[in-house]
């Protein structure tokens, strides 16, 4: 005599296995997405850091030349050439900000870093006017713009750090 199968038992096992497989797949996909997000954020941070390092190096080199100019070691015409090259180099950094793929949390800090660089360019242009004319008002305006650029950069750093801690919670 044959035993009758209990009703419903034969369908329960495949459903349970299917559900288990689906849950495992979802966990794997969520972990993969989180890993990709982390890697994307890391890449963004590394690329932004490289831009800021390049900007810092360019600015330090220019400042060294400016100090030499102020001490009479570089002629005005040569300093104007150096300043023009410097402004062009900093302008060439701007598109690098636009090419970054910023995670949503970091977009405000990226905008502030870009604004800082734009303001620095305006400061450098005004400083060039001072070099060309000797007008102290241009020097004062350049200093004011440079201070504003510095403030944007400090705000960008604060925003970046807030996004980092906010994104990791």
What residue spans define the domains of the chain?
52-96+104-167
Provide the pLDDT for residue 169: 44
CA nearest to 55, candidates 88, 90, 86, 83: 90
At 31 the pLDDT is 66
Is there a contact between 127 and 167 (Cβ–Cβ < 8 Å)? no
Tokens of 83: 């300043």
Tell me the pTM.
Answer: 0.77
Cβ-in-10-Å burial (0-12, 13-18, 19+) of 101 comes to exposed
Provide the residue-wise pLDDT of the chain in tens; the chain has 169 residues. 555 555 555 667 777 787 777 787 677 766 665 656 566 678 888 999 999 999 999 999 999 999 999 999 999 999 999 999 999 999 999 999 999 988 888 999 999 999 999 999 999 999 999 999 999 999 999 999 999 999 999 999 999 888 888 755 4
pLDDT of residue 12: 74
């Amino acid at each position: 005599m044959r035993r009758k199968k209990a009703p419903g038992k034969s369908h329960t096992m495949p459903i349970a296995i299917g559900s288990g497989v689906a849950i495992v797949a979802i966990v794997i996909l969520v972990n993969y997405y989180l890993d990709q997000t982390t890697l994307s954020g890391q890449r963004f941070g590394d690329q932004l850091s490289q831009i800021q390092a390049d900007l810092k190096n360019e600015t330090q080199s220019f400042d060294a030349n400016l100090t030499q100019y102020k001490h009479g070691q570089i002629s005005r015409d040569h300093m104007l050439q150096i300043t023009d090259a410097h402004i062009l180099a900093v302008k060439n950094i701007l598109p690098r900000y636009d090419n970054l793929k910023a995670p949503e949390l970091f977009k405000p800090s990226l905008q502030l870093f870009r604004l800082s660089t734009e303001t620095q360019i305006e400061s450098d242009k005004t400083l060039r006017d001072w070099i060309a004319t000797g007008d102290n008002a241009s020097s004062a305006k350049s200093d004011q713009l440079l201070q504003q650029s510095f403030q944007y950069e400090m705000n960008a750093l604060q925003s970046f750090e807030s996004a980092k801690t906010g994104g990791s919670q």
